[in-house]
Amino acid sequence: MNDRLEQAKKSPFFKKGDVIVYIALVALIVATFLATGLSRNKSDLEQIQILRDNQVIFTYDFLHDTVKASEGVTVEQTEEGYLVTITEGDARNVLIVKKEGYVKMLEANCSMHRDCVYMAPITDQGGFIECMPHRLIICAGELNFDPSVG
């Protein structure tokens, strides 16, 4: 028993193989924390589209920071992202698109109630804002046709 104890005391705490395992474990833990921490701060938004009459008139790619806009859509760069103005005759809608992953209708002259301005901002794929009187849909990812009633 004492021999074993003496042997254990003399053997190095970290054998070469153990060192490799420990380093790998620490690296894995650090990587996991970093990945989790980064993903918490990073939005899930990849791309948003604006459709009018079911036709795409604006696209923004969050991953590559690229804008595509059709006629009737003006894009103004801001500190946080872009101010997108959509006009058709007297109809006017203004959206904010933040690079961090946030899209919201700021202004609209669609109706007295301007429901689209009060819709929740888009922060995740699947998010959706609609301006029915101006026949506009703003969506992140493919249009979601899950039915709802009421």
- Residues within the interface to other proteins (CB under 8 A): 53-54, 109-114, 118-120, 128, 132-133, 135, 137, 143, 145-150
Q: How far is the CB of 77 from other proteins (least distance, A)?
A: 28
Backbone conformation region of residue 114, classed left if phi is above 0, alpha if psi is from -120 to 50, else beta = left
Taking the least distance from each CB to other proteins, the nearer of 58 and 82 is 58
Q: How far is the CB of 128 from other proteins (least distance, A)?
A: 8
Spatial distance between the Cα atoms of 5 and 77, rounded to a whole number of angstroms: 71
Q: How far is the CB of 24 from other proteins (least distance, A)?
A: 35
Q: How far is the CB of 67 from other proteins (least distance, A)?
A: 24
Taking the least distance from each CB to other proteins, the nearer of 82 and 134 is 134
Backbone conformation region of residue 64, classed left if phi is above 0, alpha if psi is from -120 to 50, else beta = alpha
Taking the least distance from each CB to other proteins, the nearer of 17 and 150 is 150
* Residue recorded with tokens 């790619």: 61
Taking the least distance from each CB to other proteins, the nearer of 82 and 104 is 104
- Whether the Cβ atoms of residue 108 and residue 116 lie closer than 8 Å to each other: yes
Spatial distance between the Cα atoms of 38 and 57, rounded to a whole number of angstroms: 32
